[in-house]
Amino acid sequence: MADRPDADREAGANKPALRLHVPEPKSRPGDTVDFSHVPVSQPGKQPRPDEACDARETEGLCHDLIRVLGDDDRAHGPWDPKLDPDTLRTMLGHFALVRAFDERMFRGQRQGKTSFYMKCTGEEATSVSAAMALASDDMVFPSYRQQGVLIARGYDLVEMINQIYSNKGDKLKGRQLPIMYSSREHSFFSISGNLATQTPQAVGWAMASAIKGDSRIAATWVGEGSTAEGDFHSACTFATVYNAPVILNVINNQWAISSFSGFAGSERTTFAARALGYGLAGLRVDGNDALAVYAAQRWAANRARANAGPTLIEYFTYRAEGHSTSDDPTGYRSAQEREEWPLGDPVMRLKNHLIALGEWDEDRQTEMDREAAERVKAATKEAEKNGILGHGMHQPFRTMFEDVFEELPWNLKEQAEQATRERLIKFNGGRPK
């Protein structure tokens, strides 16, 4: 028996050796960028099925790419939402404000005013346009790059900056990482740093809404890398089994920090195609086309409201900046990728569409950008009155023991008293006051 393993190896010597496949992006730093492998569909050629259709009728749309805006800057095809110019200008204004907010908060982090920030440059449409397609009280369960949802819903910029600075004006009392906002008043669920936890939460909330006979639906956002998490697949199962009125938005921005989308399965099929195995309706959308994003989100919202079922939408876009202020994308991808991305920039495309309609011009765009920058600057100065990182203007020390129990248990009271006493000794020359 001791010689058996050698005998087995000799018997299988003529069998081909197994090989492990490790996904690799098409280009790395220093390489020439080639996006020829990215299929770009012709705008307006994708069919728009009835919102109450059988989920199987969306199979083709899981592999195609829903597009509305063409190279002529005009809207084409059945997915054109036919938004009026005032709505388009409002959307463009939200884009400008998000971009100005990102720029100033990024600089604030570099100046040491906060520890962390995440920009959404190139992905603005996936949050702003999608949010505008929902009802204002529909519950959203965001990931950490959906600041555009809050801005589109009119959340106060000073409150956002207070949270980023974790200062004494922070309504979350410094208990969340910067950019992990929460607002009950704006139906914006608390952001979690744990990947994909928001997806089953959204489905569960939607199921509860249906059980109560409410009219509000839920929408959640998750990065394509996070679809590899078990929570995402649990969410898909519950959504389809219970016909939950929910929209599962997958933001495929090509990169999960430094891991390209192939590690989450994009080499084999699209992320929208994952809907097929669960019996979900699925749509794959040009995420840099503001009109296509709006139309797809509205289609899915109407479907959910009609009790026709949940929808999984893949927004095919590109993360133009680093993952966060802690990331340097030049270490893992070509510096030319942003300029070579074939679907362009969502802000420029919407601006050019309005210009083509005769409803906008470059001078007004310049003024809009200036006003957005000034508005963010004023909000930042107001928030800084409440303190910035390391300046000591934070929540009172006692608050770290509050807001969990209605009545503080005896053991936590003892811990609070001990912690307070030790803190006073430490910062009062070794003597309690």
Structure tokens at 386: 């409440």
Q: What pLDDT sits at residue 8? A: 59
Q: What pLDDT sits at residue 4? A: 63
Q: What pLDDT sits at residue 426? A: 82
Q: What pLDDT sits at residue 98? A: 98
User: How many C-beta atoms surround the C-beta of residue 425 within 10 A?
Assistant: 13
Q: List the domain boundaries for the chain.
A: 55-384, 397-426
In contact, 151 and 97? CB cutoff 8 Å: yes
Q: What pLDDT sits at residue 226? A: 97
Q: What is the pLDDT along the chain (433 residues), one digit of tens a residue?
A: 555 656 556 666 789 999 999 999 999 999 999 899 899 999 999 999 999 999 999 999 999 999 999 999 999 999 999 999 999 999 999 999 999 999 999 999 999 999 999 999 999 999 999 999 999 999 999 999 999 999 999 999 999 999 999 999 999 999 999 999 999 999 999 999 999 999 999 999 999 999 999 999 999 999 999 999 999 999 999 999 999 999 999 999 999 999 999 999 999 999 999 999 999 999 999 999 999 999 999 999 999 999 999 999 999 999 999 999 999 999 999 989 999 999 999 999 999 999 999 999 999 999 999 999 999 999 999 999 999 998 878 888 888 888 989 999 999 999 999 988 888 888 776 555 4
Q: What pLDDT sits at residue 181? A: 97
The CATH class of the 55-384 domain is: alpha beta
Q: What pLDDT sits at residue 395? A: 85
Q: How far apart are CA 200 and CA 219, in angstroms?
A: 11
In contact, 243 and 278? CB cutoff 8 Å: no
Residues near 95 by beta carbon (within 8 Å), at least 6 away in sequence: 124, 125, 128, 148, 290, 346, 347, 350
User: How many C-beta atoms surround the C-beta of residue 285 within 10 A?
Assistant: 32
Q: Which amino acid is at 249?
A: N
Structure tokens at 322: 């680093």
In contact, 283 and 41? CB cutoff 8 Å: no
Q: What pLDDT sits at residue 378? A: 98
